[in-house]
């Protein structure tokens, strides 16, 4: 009986060890140990030596945090490309030739400049990237995007915060859902800035240099917008917004007056704002400056921070 028990335990031991094996070992182990007996997918090109293309997820290429200074060759099968936390300074004309299947492109925390994107990469270089929906370019050194993003027809999220932009990029894709421009040096917005978008809901332009003079009338009075962040700018007045807006962040500006007309053109029982969140703290107004009529117009607002 003792021999039988030992035999059974010896058979169970490999199974127990396999269950305890780290499922993320491929991320940090040697390439031979990472992939084991799995056959690497070479469809559309070999995986670059400086990156990881796990056989268990063959449409993703991990090149983040590798000290890269240039974009590697991208196999055409790739849908998810992670290039963040490197020292990439430029995107060559041919770097994206095979990247027609990309859905996500992460290039934040690099050293990209306008010469590397706005001038060197033209709309023609991005033609065919019809599937790209998410583009992260934040925390680089871009001053001007030019019209390089114009052909990205499926792009829904554009994150270009933490760059050196002085104006909003031209010819942005019309189907954007989220646009993040925080921590730049933008001091004005173009006429009809939001009118070109049909699905835009989240706009963040906090930590810029916006002034009242730099914002055309009714720029933000568009339906569909859910969240608008204009905090940490140089505004002296509350801009007019749509009654459908739900979250408005205006803290740390220089606002001196609470203008109820910015939220409701007509104040009565049937006309009111959908605003839930309103932050005005860090400005030059107090709670005494809020008129009594605001309880009708802003009846859905849980609190007004001043």
- pLDDT, one tens digit per residue, over 131-147 is 999 999 999 999 988 88
Cα distance between the two ends of the chain: 79
53-186, what's its fold?
3.80.10
Q: How far apart are CA 145 and CA 262, in angstroms?
A: 32
| 179 close to 160: Cβ distance less than 8 angstroms | no
- pLDDT, one tens digit per residue, over 54-88 is 999 999 999 999 999 999 989 999 999 999 999 99
| pTM of the shown model | 0.84
Q: Which residues pair with 52 in a beta bridge?
A: 62
**What ranges do the domains of the chain cover?**
53-186, 194-199+209-305
C-beta atoms surrounding 271 within 10 Å:
12
Q: Which residues pair with 135 in a beta bridge?
A: 105, 158
Question: What is the pLDDT at residue 56?
Answer: 94
Question: What is the pLDDT at residue 252?
Answer: 98
Q: Which residues of the chain have pLDDT under 50?
A: 1-37
Helix (H, G, I), strand (E, B) or coil at 5: helix
Q: How many CA atoms lie within 13 A of 176 on its CB side?
A: 26
Helix (H, G, I), strand (E, B) or coil at 57: coil
| 231 close to 252: Cβ distance less than 8 angstroms | yes
């Amino acid at each position: 009986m003792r021999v039988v028990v030992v035999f059974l335990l010896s058979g169970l031991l490999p199974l127990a060890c396999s269950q305890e094996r780290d499922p993320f070992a491929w991320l940090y182990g040697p390439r031979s140990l990472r992939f084991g007996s799995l056959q690497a997918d070479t469809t559309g090109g070999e995986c670059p030596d400086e990156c990881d293309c796990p056989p268990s997820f063959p449409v993703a290429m991990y090149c983040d945090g590798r000290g890269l200074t240039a974009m590697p060759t991208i196999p055409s099968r790739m849908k998810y490309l992670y290039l963040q936390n490197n020292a990439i300074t430029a995107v060559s004309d041919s770097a994206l030739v095979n990247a027609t299947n990309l859905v996500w492109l992460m290039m934040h925390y690099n050293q990209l400049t306008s010469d590397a994107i706005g001038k060197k990469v033209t709309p023609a270089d991005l033609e065919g990237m019809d599937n790209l929906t998410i583009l992260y370019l934040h925390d680089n050194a871009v001053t001007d995007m030019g019209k390089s993003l114009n052909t990205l027809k499926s792009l829904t999220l554009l994150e270009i915060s933490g760059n050196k932009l002085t104006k909003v990029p031209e010819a942005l894709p019309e189907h954007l859902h989220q646009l993040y421009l925080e921590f730049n040096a933008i001091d004005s917005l173009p006429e009809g800035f939001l009118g070109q978008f049909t699905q835009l809901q989240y706009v963040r332009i906090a930590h810029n240099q916006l002034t009242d003079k730099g914002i055309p009338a009714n720029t933000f009075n568009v339906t569909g917008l859910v969240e608008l962040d204009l905090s940490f700018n140089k505004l002296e007045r509350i801009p007019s917004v749509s009654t459908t807006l739900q979250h408005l962040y205006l803290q740390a500006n220089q606002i001196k007056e609470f203008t109820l007309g910015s939220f409701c053109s007509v104040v009565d029982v049937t006309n009111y704002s959908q605003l839930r969140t309103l932050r005005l703290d860090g400005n030059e107004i107090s709670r005494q400056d809020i008129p009594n009529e605001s309880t009708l117009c802003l009846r859905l607002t849980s609190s007004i921070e001043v």
